[in-house]
Structure 1
Amino acid sequence: MTMASTDRRSLLAASLALSAGAIVTHSAAGAQATAPGSDLPVPTPDPAEVIELWPGGVPGAPDPLPAEKITQRSTDPALSDRYVERTATPRMVVFRPQQPNGAAVLLTPGGGYSRVVIDKEGYELARWMNARGFTAFVLFYRLPGDGWQNRADAPLADAQRAIRLIRHRAAEYGVDPERVGAMGFSAGGHLCADLSTRFAHPAYQPIDAADRLSARPSAAAPIYPVISMDPAIAHAGSRDLLLGPNPSPELEAAHSPDRVVLADAPPFFLLHAEDDNVVPVANTLRLREALKTAGVRVETHLFEVGGHGFGLRGTTGKPVEIWPELWRAWARTTPLG
C-alpha cells in the first residue's frame, strides 16, 4: 500500500465521520415495545478502514467528477442520520467484528438512487452484524444520475467489484470466500437483487486478479426493495434515475430482477411491510414468484405494519422489529451459516 493511498483512505474516512419459501404474514396484534436502545447497537466511532473499488480510476467517469456531499438530517446528537450525494469515489467501509464467524455481508443502503443513506441502513446494520460475528462492508456506490457512462450498470458494476474484492481479500478479513452474502434496502435492495440475479453480467471490463472471482453472493436479502421497472409498480424516482428518460423495453427488463432470475441464483430472504406507501409490496411479490418459478430457495416475510425505510431504528413496538432475527435464523440455513 502506498502512502498516497493510505492518506486518501484516511481522508475518505474522515469525510464520512464529519458529516424453501412460503409467505409468512405478520399482523399488528400482540405488538410489544422493546426497552429503549435494546435493538440498536451502541454507537461507536466510524471505522477508518476504507477500500476503494477502482484504484486505477473509476470506469466511465464524467469530467468533472461529481462533487460529493454528506448531509446530516438528525437534530439529535445521539442519533446520527447522514446521507451522501454524488458519490465520486465508490468504496466500502469495513466493519470488523471482535469475534469473526467467518462470514461477510455486503450492505447496500437505500436512497432512491439519488443518495446513499449512511447510518440507518448502513452503519447501524453493520454494527448489528458485527455483534453476531459477521464482517460487514457498507457500499458507497455510484448514483446513476451523476453523469456516469452506462448509467444503469454503474451501481451494479460497483456491487460486482465489491463482492470480488471481499473474496480476493478474504484471508485478510478472516472470511471464507464461499460465505459472502448481500443485503440491501429500498433502492439498495434493488441493487442487491440486481447483483444476485445478474452477477455474471459483464458490467465492467476486468482490471486485476480479483475480477477473475465470482460476483455471485452466497445469499441475498433485499429488504423492502425496489424490484420492477414496470411503471405500474416501480418506484418512479429510482426508475427514472437508473434507466434515464425513455428507456427501451430491453433495458427495463434487464434491470427488473424478477424478469432475469436464473436457476443458479443464490437463496433469497425477502421482507416487506404491506403498508409501504413508497415501494409497493407488489415488488417483493413479483420477485418471489419469479424465484419460485426458477426453483430458487426463497423465504418471504410480509408485515401488516411497518411502512418504508424502517431499518433497525424504525421498528420498536411493531411486529416488524423481529426482522433481523428472522434473517439471522434463515442465514443459518445458507452458506452464511
Structure 2
Amino acid sequence: MKTTFFSQTSICSLVLLLLCFGIATVNGQELEPRNYIAYKATEKLIIDGQGDDTSWQKAPWSQDYIDIEGKKVPDYRTRMKMLWDNEYLYVLTEIEEPHVWATLKQRDTVIFYNNDFEIFIDPDGDTHNYYEYEMNALNTLWDLFLTKPYRNNGKVVDSWDIQGVKSAVSIDGTLNDSSDTDMGWTVEVAIPWKVVTEASRGGHVPENEFWRINFSRVNWKFDLAQGRYSRKKDDSGKFMPEYNWVWSPQGVINMHEPEHWGYVYFSAKEVGEKDSFSIPQDDYIKFYLYSLYRGVLQGKKDAEKLVEVPREILGKTIKPSLEKHRFGYNIWVKSPFTGKILVIQEDGEFSSVDEKE
C-alpha cells in the first residue's frame, strides 16, 4: 500500500484552495447559475418594444438582475422575459433608468461605451463558439461571434452579423433630455434561429432542451455639459468604472467566463402552461471542473495538486485527473451519475462523451 505524506503547510494550502473552488461563492454562499423556462408563443409577436402582445402578458418575469459579482443589489431594477417559436428566440427586457441617454448611432460601434443591454448565447455550453449582442437606447446594435473566451485567446469575429434580427426600443420618458426624470426603457429583440443554431452541434431549434445564456446591463455615471450626456471622469481625467448588472451572477467582473451563465430551457409547452426544469447532475461536476481549470490556467499555487483531491458532489465522491500529453493537458473525470467522461481541454472547451467512444 502506497502512502503519501504532505507537510502541514501543503495541507493548509490545499484546504484553502478547496474552499475557494467550486461554484462561484459570495460570503460562503454558492452562486448557482439561475434558470428560466422560455415557453412557446401562441401568436406572431410584433417587435415594437411595447411587450403588450398576449404571449408577453402571460410570460413570467425573470428574477431581478444583480451585480455581476453577486454581492450587491443594483441601484435600478432590470428584468427580462423570453419566448420562442419556430423562427425566432424572443427577449423582452425592462430597464429602470431615471436618465435615458445614448449617443452611438453606428452599427458595430463599441456599444457599452453607452448605457446598454447585452445578450450572451452559448448553444452547446462548451464555452466556445458563442454570440454576443449589445444595443443602446437608440436601438444601435453591436453583434459579434467569439470562437473562444478572451482567456483562451479566441478570435473575435466583429464582422459577423445576426442576419434578420429584429429589435425595438420604447422609452418611458424622453431620450437625451436632462431637464426631466425618466422611468426607463424597454428592449424587445427577435433573434432568428437559423443564425444562432449555426454554431450549435445539433443545428436545430432546442425544443425541450436548454442553452447557456446570460444578460448584462452596463450603466455609467454621467456628466452633463450644455445639456449633453457623457461618461463621467474622475479628477485625473479617467473614465469612472461602469456598473455591470446581470441576470445570472458571474462571481467575477468578467462576462466572458461562459461556464457561469444561466440556463434557459425552451419548453414545448405554450405560454400560460407550466413546465419544470432542473440543472443536470453532471453540470454540478462541470462547475467544479471549471473551477479547477481556472486555477491551473491562472497558475495558482498547488492548483495541479488540487485537481486530484477527491471531492463530494451531490452526495457522490469524484476524483478528477489532470492528464498531460504532448499537446497540452486535459482535466477529466467519470461521472458517477451518467457514466460519461467529462473533459475540459487545455483551451477550455468542454465535452461529455460515452466511455465506449
TM-score scaled to structure 2, two decimals? 0.29
- Which structure has greater helix proportion? 1
- Which structure has greater strand proportion? 2
Which protein is bigger by CA-based radius of gyration? 2
